[in-house]
Amino acid sequence: MKKIYMNMLLALFILVIVCSLYISVEGFESPEPWCILLTTCVKRANSTPEKTKEILELYKKSIDKWLETDLPIIVVDSSDYQFKEYEGTRLKVCHFICEETKSSSISEAMSVLYAIHSCNHTRKYKNIIKITGRYYIDDFSNILKKLGDKSDLYIQHINNPDIKWQNSEVFGFNKKYADEIFEPIIKGGLYMENQLWNISHVNYSVKTFPQMPNILKVMRGGDGLTVDPL
């Protein structure tokens, strides 16, 4: 009995040491400046198999282009699609089931927070650039380098002051502000675009992306509009 007790104490001691080392590394490692977070929803409610395949091909075309860059690429899919066709590549995938919501803004906000709080892939990055999964932006590494990584928010040049609307195909944020950016969308039913307008006009430091060509000429998912440049 005494031997079993000593072994248990030894195992507990080792566990404490390992956890302490992990916390030390976690607390002191220098975060990398950026990651790209592509939001996707492959398997949509009431979609035909043909439509699902079409949507998947749009995403894959974009992902393939992003994987040609030197940027860290993470996908978060809200329909629990795992992108197994990319196993063995550097693509990191988060996936979960997002229950039916009132708007795509809520679904996307939930996806971003899931990627941050429940998926380890975003842990080491200071800033997250959220890009709707169907879009690819050429020379994005240099765009980010020119903007620098010291701001709180990074937004597109497209907005409408009359309705307090800031486009949301592409935006970036310092990860420490994630909850205060996205929780009001989930809890208050705000549109992503209105929330981005709101937070970009308060006490956040903001940088604006230059006009960026919609290289793949893809249409927006909701209204079918082709936004070009982004």
Q: According to the model, what pLDDT value does residue 4 have?
A: 59
Sequence-ordered alpha helix ranges (H) in 67-137 = 104-117
Decide if 74 contacts 122 (C-beta within 8 A): yes
Q: How far from the centroid of its chain's Cα atoms is residue 15's Cα?
A: 33
Gap between the Cα atoms of 42 and 83, Å rounded: 10
Least confident range of 18-22, 33-37, 147-151, 216-220: 18-22
Does the pLDDT value for residue 3 go beyond 80?
Answer: no
CA angle in degrees (0–180, nearest 5) for 137-104-118: 80
The average pLDDT across 199-203 equals 92
Return the CATH architecture of domain 31-208: Alpha-Beta Complex (3.90)
pTM comes to: 0.86
Helix/strand/coil for 72? coil
pLDDT band of 224, cuts 50, 70, 90: confident
Helix/strand/coil for 79? strand
Sequence-ordered alpha helix ranges (H) in the chain = 2-28, 49-66, 104-117, 140-147, 178-188, 192-199
Sequence-ordered alpha helix ranges (H) in 29-131 = 49-66, 104-117
Least confident range of 10-24, 155-169, 200-214: 10-24
Decide if 157 contacts 211 (C-beta within 8 A): yes
Does the pLDDT value for residue 223 go beyond 50?
Answer: yes
Cβ partners under 8 Å of residue 184, min gap 6: 190, 195
Q: According to the model, what pLDDT value does residue 17 have?
A: 46
Write out pLDDT tens, residues 132-189. Answer: 999 999 999 999 999 999 999 999 999 999 999 999 999 999 999 999 999 999 999 9
Gap between the Cα atoms of 159 and 213, Å rounded: 17
